[in-house]
Chains A and B, each alone.
Chain A
Amino acid sequence: MSKFKITETPHVIDDHLLNIIGNEFKFDHAKGLAEWLKNSADAYNREEVNDEDQYIFIRMKQKTSVSPARFECIDFVGMTHDEIETAFKRWGDPQAASRGKSRKNILGGHGNGGKFYMRQMFAESRFITYRNGLLNVFGFNENKKYGFDSGYEKKKTKLERAIELADLEEVLKHLPRVLKNRLEKGQTGFTVVTGEQPEKLRGRNNVRSIVQRLRVHPQARRLLKTKQVYAIVDNQVQKLEVESIPPKEGFEGPFEFDVPAILKRGSADIELANDKFSAGKLILNTSAEPFTRLGDRASLNCIDIRGDIGVIGSYRMNELGHIKNFTETEFVYGECSCPILEDPKEDCVRNDREKLVDTDKTLALLEWICTKVNELADKMAEKSTEKQRVEELRQSSFFNEFLNSWMRKNKFWEKLRGEIFGGQDEGNSFGGTGGGGAVGNTSNNGDGGEPQAGEDGNDGGGAGDKKQKGPKFPDVRLSDVDSDPLGLCDTVHCDPRHPLIYQRAEDVSQSIYWINSQAPFARKILDQYGSEHTRWREYMFQRHIDILVKQSVYEMERREPQLSAARIDNEVLDRVTRRIYESAAEDTSLGSFLFTESLAGLSRAEQDQQVASIPEA
């Protein structure tokens, strides 16, 4: 202990300190009005008024030749002289907003926001407050000094006169009858906070823009959701409501993540939940439109840190840390709760509730939020790239149509089957004689697979000369692009690990084949050369040949239970590929298809013309 003993005495603080602190608020009017809204809401909450009966009006008047611009916030509670003395006049008192009552539902924090807004952002400001038949006017003069109006301190005033002084006649028209009755019976009062000659009110920072920004301000959004907040701009009244934000397609969300109880930061373990404070939650949402395109709503592109009652901090995406995908994060917004941040011992909440105090806890939390935002943005970027690719591929669907037509018009399937397997019939299916014999009379019905004839053994022996229907003519499609002819889904999505030619079980009987547009080599061609390039056309042509080979192998197995490598090599691989390539060499339409660069960018009519130019075999 020191040998000196200090006698305690009240601090003497120069008003200049208020300028220093006030400047830190860096007010814009939306933020300041949100502070006023919170004060009004707190006034109602202290009186335990239900949310639906909490009427708050933001009245804004533009500058005229006879009067300056004026912003006002009106509620129907009112303050007593005593409250002004003990609560309003005190700077930096965390108990000011609660007036000594429970802090439950109290939004005010350090008791500074609304006052500083009055002091810093207007040439003059004051509030007219009426309660228990007494009128008080208290405010800041042009020297930014505060005090009561000399004529209106605890002044006994009739309600009508008080209403007239506060210019509330028009506003009262928008109050419900029950609230007016309470006012008339003296069961409640009113407060009108007024700021005259607002600072920085010029250019795009006009009254309407301020109202719009107020609607999306993190400190105001929840109030707008629950209370009856109206804006009166130049005598036009509108209820302020939170706009719903349609989510981005495919990312409807919300995406919820539990905040880990322990986060690593460097070598330290940072505790974010314990026995006293439960684990937090991060909720991310998406917007159909990027926020930057939404004008004043751009400020929604942030993560609000939500405290017990309201927002205790708000971070634009670029303030969270290293954002990898800026384009995609422009679609993201969200909120994070983390109760331990409000532990008084931690002191994480700032005076202005705009940003958290930088501590290991808050920084670890922000870093973690950043990783989650990055993860979501990465997924969105992936999908967006995929969508772009699909769009690009859609342009080249015509190439596939062309090949389908070429194969069909050349009757490749029929000719090859005839040659290899000695089939008899032509048409849209493989010909050939049915083996008949012992097995039954059920035809293959063109399922392209194993013979189904007499499979259940109930059908008795066949004559052995019955014609079997072969597989249907292949319908070749591009995965992730072309529509599903069976209507089971929009399109078939292939995985890069799926084979180059993919079939679902349902496709087999319909001879539907999907060229896997997600296969790594396909992707490589598309990425390097684009879907219009001849390489991509050739790639598709190769896949059509694969299908023919595949179908031939199965057909051969259907006819011969024991396949030999020599038979497959000679009869299928050599013969099938030779026949197709011979035709391709002879056919000018296919030659032009495979080798002419200029097919890129054809109109639909020109594409149809190309298909029509394929000669019939």
Chain B
Amino acid sequence: MDIPRPEKILVAMFQLSNGTNQPLEYEDIVVRSWELFPEEFGLRKYVHKHPDSSDQHKPLYGPLKDKGFVLSGNKKFRLTEKGIAYASELVKAMKGGKAANAGNSDRLSRNNEAQLKRICETDAFRLFSLGQKEKILDTDFYTYLGVTVRTEKHEFLGRLQTVADAVADASRISDNPKFAVTQPLHEFLCQQFKGIIERNRITK
């Protein structure tokens, strides 16, 4: 089964970390990706002899962070809970030849459930449930996402995606009445603080 390039990096990270969120060195990721997928990550002309270390930057700092699968710091990378769950599905799918169905299960994933429970404890949720949405502050929005104003933009976008996925899953699957509030809350917050979101989307 063929999977896209960023997902291949995830699989490499999953194997390297033994399915945990331990920090990984960039060089290790480069080598393991190449070992697993030489055609994809080999140096041109030396595909099976040497890895190409320039191929993994974009997916790691871009889509994988933006989707909330990976966190980075000081040139080290680690999988998030969401990243681990997704990579695990990918590995299973690769073994069994079935497409990964993370996000399409009929049960809330443990990670999403944890996200939703966390959201239900936030001030943003409380104020929204009390009909006092006008009192929600920018800092409440950051807390809702599990970030701060200082959070790096790709990580911010990754958290936004992770929370959005959890909320979407809740409205699709869960019959928990508290979780049902998260969908309109999420829509309200994204509208109310679209300036902050846009800033993170466009700021260099």
Contact = CB atoms under 8 A, between A and B. Distances in A.
Do these two chains interact? yes
Interface of A: 435-440, 448-452, 454-461, 495, 497-499, 502-505, 507-508, 554, 557-562
A182 to B, nearest CB: 61
A450 B137 contact: no
B199 interface: yes
Contacts of A459: 57
A438 B57 contact: yes
A456 B57 CA distance: 7
B60 A457 contact: yes
11 contacts: A439-B26, A448-B150, A451-B74, A461-B53, A461-B54, A502-B139, A504-B149, A508-B149, A557-B73, A561-B72, A562-B23
B71 to A, nearest CB: 7
B49 to A, nearest CB: 19
Contact of B137 (A438, A498, A554): A498
Contacts of B150: 448-450, 503, 508, 554
A202 B141 CA distance: 68
B7 to A, nearest CB: 16
B58 interface: yes
A461 B51 CA distance: 14
Given A438-B53, A449-B150, A505-B199, A495 B137 contact: yes
A458 B58 contact: yes
A452 B72 CA distance: 10
A562 B78 contact: yes
Summarize A's interface: helix, strand, loop or mixed. loop
B75 interface: yes
B75 A449 contact: no
A436 B140 CA distance: 35
A451 to B, nearest CB: 7
B82 interface: no
A46 B73 CA distance: 86
Given A457-B62, A503-B150, A561 B57 contact: no
B40 interface: no
Nearest to A440: B57
Given A438-B53, A561-B23, A497 B61 contact: no
A561 B74 contact: yes
Given A497-B123, A559-B74, 10 more contacts: A439-B26, A450-B150, A450-B151, A455-B152, A456-B62, A459-B57, A499-B139, A503-B150, A554-B150, A561-B71
A450 B152 contact: yes
A498 B138 CA distance: 9
A488 B72 CA distance: 32
Interface in B24-65: 26-27, 30, 53-54, 56-62
Residue from B53, B75, B77, B155 whose CB has the most chain A CB atoms within 10 Å: B75
B61 A457 contact: yes
Contact of A439 (B57, B71, B152): B57
A458 B74 contact: no
A434 to B, nearest CB: 10
Contacts of A460: 54, 57
Contact of B73 (A457, A458, A560): A560
A502 B135 CA distance: 17
A287 to B, nearest CB: 29
Contacts of A495: 137
Contacts of B75: 435-439
Contacts of A560: 73-74
B149 A503 contact: yes
Contacts of A457: 56-62
Contacts of A498: 137, 139
The 10 A-B residue pairs with the shortest CB-CB distance, nearest first, are A457-B57, A450-B152, A561-B73, A457-B58, A438-B26, A449-B150, A561-B76, A437-B75, A561-B23, A457-B61
A346 B149 CA distance: 62
B8 interface: no
Nearest to A456: B61
B196 interface: yes
B76 A456 contact: no
B151 A449 contact: yes
Interface string B59-100: 111100000000111111110000000000000000000000
B54 A449 contact: no
A457 B22 CA distance: 22
Interface in B84-128: 123
B24 to A, nearest CB: 9
A450 B58 contact: no
Nearest to B29: A438
A554 B58 CA distance: 24
B186 interface: no
A498 B77 CA distance: 32
B114 to A, nearest CB: 19
Given A437-B75, A561-B74, A450 B155 contact: yes
Contacts of A456: 57-58, 61-62
Contacts of B74: 435, 451, 558-561
A552 B22 CA distance: 23
Given A435-B74, A560-B73, A505 B149 contact: yes
B198 to A, nearest CB: 10
Contacts of B54: 460-461
B159 interface: no
Contacts of A504: 138, 149
Nearest to B30: A438
A459 B75 CA distance: 14
B76 to A, nearest CB: 4
A303 to B, nearest CB: 29
A434 B104 CA distance: 42
A498 B149 CA distance: 12
A561 B74 CA distance: 6
B57 A505 contact: no
Contacts of B151: 449-450
Contact of B57 (A436, A452, A454, A562): A454
Nearest to B72: A561
A436 B73 CA distance: 12
Contacts of B77: 561
A498 to B, nearest CB: 6
Contacts of A503: 149-150
Nearest to B143: A499
Nearest to B149: A503
A452 B203 CA distance: 11
B164 to A, nearest CB: 20
Instruction: Identify the interface centre among B27, B30, B57, B155: most chain A CB within 10 Å of its CB.
Output: B57
A449 B199 contact: no
Contacts of B135: 497
A458 B54 CA distance: 8
Contacts of B58: 456-458
A62 to B, nearest CB: 60
A440 B152 CA distance: 16
B144 to A, nearest CB: 14
